[in-house]
Structures are given as structure tokens and as C-alpha cells.
Amino acid sequence: MKVDRLVSIIMILLDKKRIGAQELADMFEVSPRTIYRDIDAINMAGIPVRGASGVGGGFEIMPEYKIDKKVFSTDDLSALLMGLSSLSNIVRGDELVHALAKVKSFIPADRAKDIELKANQIWIDLSPWTGNSNIQPYLEMIKGVLQEKKLLSFEYIAHHGKKTTRTVEPYQLVLKSSQWYLQGYCHKRNDFRLFRLSRMSNLQMKEDTFELRDYEKPTLDFEDLLETMQTKIKIRIHKSVMDRVLDFCSYEDFSPDGDEYYIVRFPFIENEYHYDILLGFGNKCECLEPLHIRAEMKRRIHDIAAVYES
């Protein structure tokens, strides 16, 4: 595969001072002409390779592009490999492949096993178990419009299923809680908005470009705000849903109620999202206090039952 060969050539060039086209051709069982095309592709990717003719000639990466391997410690290299390997599962692209190749070229043979062991001790995979299969193509398209500063249009499903058509100046891709978002200036709202990629469809890159505006990055840390908005309600749950309830609160919020049940101080905001969380626990969860939230739960359960009565 060409990409594999290119990465291998980059690693060889980073490791060696100079190597000839014929030697590379023999190594990969291709023609010297193919090697020359590969070198052109590597140069186009931003890695400066130069050729030297005559006796002892060949290809080499410009010396100022290389870094002394002693600059990085074992912990440094392990951390870099860990981060790049985990990121490559989420954001694909040649730039990550090249970055990984560069980092791996710094690993001395006598430390390779130790570094690999440390790099594999933590694995970060933020991709969902299941989800929208269109997300990866959307990411690639949005990366393109970000680089070229072109407008992006798409259909968007907002709150309560309302469908709108948006034209956006894209500024930033955001990964938050296993979900991808696009931060951009929306021409429909005349303001910056955060759009969830899973709610997008019919993405199109426009030919029009735009001038960058002054903007602030989106607020992604709501811990302080949640402290003022959330209240602790009292729910009674069956032990069979304890693992799911722990996704929203800590074990310190649980008190045993007999052998089968727990009383839980559950963080709650009176909105659709949190009511849906409680309903998602089914008959394994009962809201005890406050009484007005208990009454609202009863109303919602009655409405659900009415759907199945007809």
C-alpha cells in the first residue's frame, strides 16, 4: 500500500543520514521511478527531502528538520505515542500518520520495548460504541472547509425536531463527551453557534470564502453553572440499575434501603433531558422527593401509557 510505503520511507530517512533511490527501490520491491514519485509526495506533505548526486549520493531529510533523539526521554516518547495513537482513532489523516512516524523514529532500539509498554498502559477511545456512520465523512469535509476558510451549508435538526437550513462560517471542531460539534458563525442567527454533527445532514462546501471574525471559543465547562442550577432529588432504585445511575452521581450519594434497593441523592435539573434520564430507568426507579417532580413523573408516565392504549 502506498501510504504504508511512504511512512516507511519517512522513518528510514529520519533514521539514516542518506540513502540511495536504488536501495529504497530494492527494499520495497518497486522501481526507482516509483521511489522518485514517493519522494515528491513526501515533499508535498511538508517534509523537506533533498537529493544529492554523485558517489555517496541519495536522498536525505534536511538536517535542520531532524531533532536529536536524546531530546526526548522514555516518558516523553510514551506520552507522545499514547496521545497520537489515541487521536488517530478519532481524527484520521495523513498528518497524524506522519506525526506518528516522526515520533517512532526517535525511539532507540534498546528502549523500544519499554516505551511501547508504557504507551499501551493507557488507551483513549472517545468514539461511541454505536452511532451515526456519517460522522467520519463529515469530519473530513469540515476539516477541509476549516483549512480553506469556505462556507458550509447543511440541514440541521434543532430542539423539538425543528429542521432548518444553515449556512455557517466554520471556526472550530469540538469533541465533547464522545460527541462532535462544529463552532461557527451562523448566517441565519447572525451569531456564533455550536452545532452537533449527528444532527447535520446534506453537508455542502460552498465556493465562497469568508474573512475571519473576532470570536471567543465556546464555553465547554459548565461545572460552576451546574452547581447553581442542579438540585439533589431523592430517588429509590433497584440494585439492577445501580451501574447506570453511577454514570450521573457518585457512590457517596447511595444509601442502602434493604437488600434490593438504594436511596440516592440524584443531581437533577427540571428539563426534558433529566426527566428522560429518570424515565430511562423504567420501573426500577421511583422519585420520592420533591413532590412536584414526583407528580410530573406520574403525568409523563401516564402520557406514555396513553400512547399504547389505542
Q: CATH number, domain at 167?
A: 2.30.30
19 within some domain? yes
Q: Tell me which residue range forms the domain holding 60.
A: 2-65
**What pLDDT, on the 0 to 100 scale, is given for residue 292?**
96
Residues 97, 59 share a domain: no
Task: Please return the burial class of 27, using the count of CB atoms within 10 Å of its CB with bins 0-12, 13-18 and 19+.
Answer: middle
Are 59 and 79 found together in one domain? no
Q: Report if pTM > 0.75.
A: no
Spatial contact of 155 and 165, defined as CB atoms under 8 Å apart? yes
* Predicted local confidence at residue 19, as pLDDT: 86
Q: Establish if 214 belongs to a structural domain.
A: no
pLDDT of residue 135: 77
Are 173 and 235 in the same domain? no
- Any domain includes 161: yes
**217 located within any domain:** no
The last residue of one of the domains, among 170, 185, 209, is 209
Q: Does some domain include residue 215?
A: no
- Sign of dihedral through CA atoms 182, 131, 156, 247? negative
Residue 103 confidence (pLDDT) = 67
Pair 286, 231 in one domain? yes
Q: Indicate whether 20 and 61 sit together in one domain.
A: yes
CA distance 11 to 7: 6
Residue 28 is predicted with a pLDDT of 82
Nearest CA among 88, 65, 81, 85 for reference residue 13: 65
The answer to whether residue 98 sits within a structural domain is yes
Burial string for 175-213 (b: 16+ CB within 10 Å, else e) reads beeeebbbbbbbeeeeebbebebbebeebeeeeeebeee
203 and 278 fall within a common domain: no
CATH number, residue 23: 1.10.10.10
The answer to whether 271 touches 264, Cβ cutoff 8 Å, is: no
- pLDDT for residue 294: 97
Together in a domain, 267 and 296? yes
pLDDT score, position 164: 93
151 falls within a domain: yes
User: Is the same domain home to 91 and 142?
Assistant: no
Could you report the average pLDDT of every consecutive run of 10 residues in the chain (310 residues)? 69 76 86 88 81 79 63 67 62 60 66 73 65 73 89 89 92 82 93 90 92 78 66 95 92 93 94 93 96 96 90
171 and 195 housed in the same domain: yes
Tell me whether residue 61 is in a domain. yes
Both 228 and 294 in one domain: the answer is yes
Instruction: Count structural domains, the chain.
Output: 4
| 52, 75: one domain | no
Contact 133, 93 (CB under 8 A): no
Residues 101 and 161 in one domain: no
